[in-house]
């Protein structure tokens, strides 16, 4: 290799002070130096152009380094066990953290105080925002009555051996449910009780009160109205039902057609007083037709006035007159009306009242005891006229008088009803008013229907309490005319046994239409509790009306309190009130006539 001279070295160093023949300073790797292989001459100072030449010329240390690395590619057993331990510890820490987090999360999701509505099933998820799959009740909840408000302390379990104390509150905040009963009444009728305006009521806690929200409605004109009825449960929750009321303002009396003169030759019960007569009315489909024969003496020959009266449900009365001629037989006939004049006593002849009762029953008997009993009381109520009698009441005489003369006092009404009930095999017993009112007594019947005893009274009502009393409880017949000693009689329907000694306030009278004859009538439905009556009566059949008798022991009625007038709603067709027939009863024992002991002498019956 060519050796470098001193001049060459100076050129390589690039000394600026070199002679004129000097080369330019070296700014890079001089290509000629490589070509001339000047770097092999170690006397020449090499330019610094990269790594130390030793790195290129002496590889022994590098070989040793890489050989060491080659040996260190795997881990030692000690290092491997240390690494595995670190990984296991990390995994355990993560799992514990997760479990701890979930545990805290469960605690935070528990509801310690839960409120549910009565009737709501008790489930474990009620006590969590998100119930764990293994959450259970540790307290036995099978004995909890979810229909009754109460507070319970329970224990629940969840997670892995976790427990919690919780409170369960059962409360009732739901009002009763039910349906309204549309009501149709005449303007001059008394309003029904509020409880008759709703049906199918239900509440878990029970119904505590049913009342008109604004008081009993008071109407001044016909039309359609909405009347609010409030139904409240035991815990004070109230539901308001808007009951539709249809008010009929009727002032037109029924029209009687076909009235004709009659001739009687024999007993009055042999004559059909209604043959060929018809009655029509603009609202009432079946107005009642009655005849007034109080001026007729069936024991004396002659011609008398017979007055027919037709009464619709609004109390309007249409009248028509006829003549009845009484012919007396030329020879005495057994079991006919006595030849003695009617002097207002119970005895008017010696005929057979039981035979007459069977004859009447054969024309009015129905398919059930309830329907038959109702027909009996309707027939007596609609056929008889009230008349005060004197003398000692006798059961058979009173019944015979009723069946033949169709008039009498309350004892006659009672005797005829009883004899007909006996003939029908329907159990019954007499009830005496106690104490006597103004020295007067009164009689009616307890009748066993559908397995229970009910008050039944066919006597024509009083001016301040009209109506026919049929299948009434103590509460429904509770007025000054029907006081009695309850301890003397079997328990009545509704469980009543108590002695009733205090008269209740007089009910509001039904207004009497103008133009009513002296012996006026006032049609009303069957009275409800405390003298109220229903506009759609279940006790009075369609068309039944109640004449107002002249009695001596009536009292001054209490006027009704002023109540808000309901707001009329859109006009709707005006229907005619209909009555609901009672449910059929079971069969009853056969006829067993009762030997009734007469009341004390010289005490007038009402």
Kindly state the average pLDDT of the residues 109-120: 92
Query: Which is more confidently placed, 96 or 539?
Result: 96
Q: Does position 341 have pLDDT exceeding 80, yes or no?
A: no
Query: Which is more confidently placed, 446 or 605?
Result: 446
Fold match flag (256-341 vs 345-504+521-554+586-598):
no
C-alpha 514/C-alpha 522 separation (Å) is 11
Is residue 288 exposed (0-12), middle (13-18) or buried (19+ Cβ within 10 Å)? buried
Q: Does position 480 have pLDDT exceeding 50, yes or no?
A: yes
Kindly state the average pLDDT of the residues 532-550: 35
Instruction: State residue 389's pLDDT score.
Output: 86
Instruction: State residue 182's pLDDT score.
Output: 96
Q: What is the mean pLDDT of the chain?
A: 74
Q: Does position 344 have pLDDT exceeding 60, yes or no?
A: yes
Ranked by mean pLDDT, the top range of 317-331, 362-376, 386-400 is 362-376
Quote the tokens at residue 462: 């009083």
Does a cis peptide bond (omega within 30 degrees of 0) precede residue 562? no
Instruction: State residue 482's pLDDT score.
Output: 85
Percent of the chain's residues with pLDDT above 70: 63
Kindly state the average pLDDT of the residues 527-536: 34
Categorize the per-residue pLDDT at 555 as very low, low, confident or very high, splitting at 50, 70 and 90.
Answer: very low
Query: Which is more confidently placed, 541 or 350?
Result: 350
Categorize the per-residue pLDDT at 460 as very low, low, confident or very high, splitting at 50, 70 and 90.
Answer: confident
Fold (CATH) for 110-171:
Immunoglobulin-like (2.60.40)
Q: Does position 579 have pLDDT exceeding 70, yes or no?
A: no
Q: Does position 602 have pLDDT exceeding 90, yes or no?
A: no
pLDDT in tens, 423-448: 999 999 999 988 877 667 889 999 99
Instruction: State residue 32's pLDDT score.
Output: 53
Categorize the per-residue pLDDT at 114 as very low, low, confident or very high, splitting at 50, 70 and 90.
Answer: very high
Q: Strand 162-171 vs strand 150-158: parallel, antiparallel, or unpaired? A: antiparallel
Quote the tokens at residue 78: 């000690």
Kindly state the average pLDDT of the residues 229-255: 95
Query: Which is more confidently placed, 65 or 17?
Result: 65
Q: Does position 270 have pLDDT exceeding 90, yes or no?
A: no
C-alpha 127/C-alpha 449 separation (Å) is 54
Q: Where are the domains of the chain?
A: 6-71, 110-171, 177-248, 256-341, 345-504+521-554+586-598
> What are the φ/ψ torsions at residue 274 (nearest 5 degrees)?
-110, 5
pLDDT in tens, 69-91: 555 555 677 778 888 888 888 89
Fold (CATH) for 177-248:
Immunoglobulin-like (2.60.40)
Q: Which residue has the tokens 């609901």?
A: 580
Report the CATH number of the 345-504+521-554+586-598 domain. Answer: 3.10.620
Instruction: State residue 317's pLDDT score.
Output: 92
| Least trusted range by pLDDT, from 54-63, 221-230, 466-475 | 54-63
Instruction: State residue 585's pLDDT score.
Output: 38
Kindly state the average pLDDT of the residues 105-129: 86
Query: Which is more confidently placed, 307 or 32?
Result: 307
Quote the tokens at residue 69: 């690395």
Categorize the per-residue pLDDT at 260 as very low, low, confident or very high, splitting at 50, 70 and 90.
Answer: very high
| Least trusted range by pLDDT, from 245-249, 252-256, 300-304 | 300-304
Instruction: State residue 183's pLDDT score.
Output: 96
State the alpha helices, DSSP H only, in 110-189.
none
Calculate Rg over the CA atoms of the chain: 55
Report the CATH number of the 256-341 domain. Answer: 2.60.40.10
Taking CA 238 as the corner, what is the angle to CA 233 and CA 243, rounded to the nearest 5 degrees? 110
Kindly state the average pLDDT of the residues 504-515: 35
Q: Does position 418 have pLDDT exceeding 90, yes or no?
A: yes
Per the CB < 8 A criterion, the answer to whether 541 and 374 are in contact is: yes
Quote the tokens at residue 37: 């292989």
Instruction: State residue 180's pLDDT score.
Output: 96
Q: Single out the residue of 162, 145, 154, 159 nearest to residue 113, CA to CA.
A: 154
Q: Which residue has the tokens 């009803």?
A: 417
Ranked by mean pLDDT, the top range of 39-53, 355-369, 491-505 is 355-369
Query: Which is more confidently placed, 169 or 343?
Result: 169
Instruction: State residue 561's pLDDT score.
Output: 40
Per the CB < 8 A criterion, the answer to whether 523 and 548 are in contact is: no
Instruction: State residue 45's pLDDT score.
Output: 55
| Least trusted range by pLDDT, from 342-351, 460-469, 485-494 | 460-469
Q: Single out the residue of 446, 458, 541 nearest to residue 486, CA to CA.
A: 446
Categorize the per-residue pLDDT at 526 as very low, low, confident or very high, splitting at 50, 70 and 90.
Answer: very low
Kindly state the average pLDDT of the residues 244-260: 95
Q: Does position 41 have pLDDT exceeding 60, yes or no?
A: no
């Amino acid at each position: 290799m060519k050796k470098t001279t001193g001049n060459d070295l100076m050129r390589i160093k690039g000394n600026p002070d070199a002679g004129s023949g000097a080369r330019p300073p070296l700014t890079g790797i001089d290509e000629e130096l490589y070509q001339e292989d000047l770097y092999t001459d170690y006397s020449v100072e090499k330019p610094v152009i990269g790594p130390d030449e030793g790195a290129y010329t002496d590889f022994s240390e590098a070989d040793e380094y890489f050989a060491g690395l080659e040996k260190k590619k795997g881990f030692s057993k000690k290092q491997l066990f240390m690494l595995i331990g670190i990984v296991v510890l990390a995994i355990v820490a993560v799992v514990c953290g997760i479990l701890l987090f979930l545990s805290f999360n469960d605690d935070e999701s528990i509801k310690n105080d839960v409120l549910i509505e009565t009737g709501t099933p008790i489930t474990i998820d009620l006590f969590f925002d998100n119930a764990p799959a293994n959450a259970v009740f540790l307290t036995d909840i099978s004995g909890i009555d979810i229909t009754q408000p109460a507070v319970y302390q329970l224990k629940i379990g969840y997670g892995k051996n976790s427990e919690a104390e919780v409170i369960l509150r059962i409360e009732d905040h739901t009002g009763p449910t039910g349906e309204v009963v549309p009501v149709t009444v005449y303007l001059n009728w008394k309003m029904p009780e509020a409880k008759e305006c709703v049906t199918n009521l239900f509440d878990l806690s029970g119904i505590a009160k049913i009342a008109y929200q604004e008081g009993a409605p008071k109407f001044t004109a016909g039309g359609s109205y909405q009347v609010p009825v409030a139904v409240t449960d035991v815990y004070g929750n109230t539901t308001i039902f808007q009951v539709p009321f249809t008010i009929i303002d009727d002032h037109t009396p029924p029209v009687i057609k076909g009235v004709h003169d009659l001739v009687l030759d024999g007993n009055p019960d042999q004559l059909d007083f209604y043959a060929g007569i018809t009655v029509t009315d603009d609202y009432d489909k079946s107005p009642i037709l009655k005849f007034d024969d109080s001026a007729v003496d069936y024991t004396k020959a002659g011609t008398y006035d017979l007055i027919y009266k037709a009464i619709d449900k609004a109390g309007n009365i249409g009248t028509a007159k006829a003549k009845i001629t009484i012919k007396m037989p030329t020879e005495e006939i057994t079991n006919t009306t006595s030849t003695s004049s009617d002097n207002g006593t119970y005895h008017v002849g010696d005929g057979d009242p039981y035979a007459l009762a069977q004859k009447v029953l054969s024309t009015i008997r129905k398919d059930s005891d309830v329907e038959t009993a109702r027909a009996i009381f309707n027939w007596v109520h609609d056929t008889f006229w009230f008349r005060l009698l004197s003398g000692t009441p006798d059961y058979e005489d009173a019944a015979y008088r009723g069946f033949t003369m169709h008039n009498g006092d309350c004892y006659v009404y009672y005797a005829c009803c009883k004899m007909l009930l006996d003939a029908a095999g329907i159990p019954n017993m007499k009830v005496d008013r106690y104490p006597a009112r103004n020295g007067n007594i009164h009689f009616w019947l307890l009748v066993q229907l559908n397995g229970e005893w009910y008050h039944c009274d066919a006597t024509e009502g009083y001016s301040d309490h009209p109506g026919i009393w049929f299948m009434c409880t103590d509460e429904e017949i509770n007025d000054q005319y029907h006081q009695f000693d309850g301890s003397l009689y079997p328990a009545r329907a509704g469980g009543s046994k108590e002695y009733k000694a205090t008269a209740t306030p007089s009910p509001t009278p039904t207004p009497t239409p103008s133009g009513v004859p002296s012996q006026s009538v006032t049609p009303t439905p069957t009275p409800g509790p405390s003298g109220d009556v229903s506009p759609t009566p279940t006790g009075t059949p369609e068309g039944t009306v109640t004449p107002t008798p002249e009695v001596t022991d009536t009292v001054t009625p209490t006027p009704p309190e002023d109540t808000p007038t309901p707001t009329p709603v859109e006009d709707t067709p005006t229907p005619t009130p209909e009555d609901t027939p009672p449910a059929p009863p079971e069969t009853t024992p056969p006829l067993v006539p009762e030997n009734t002991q007469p009341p004390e002498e010289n005490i007038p019956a009402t």
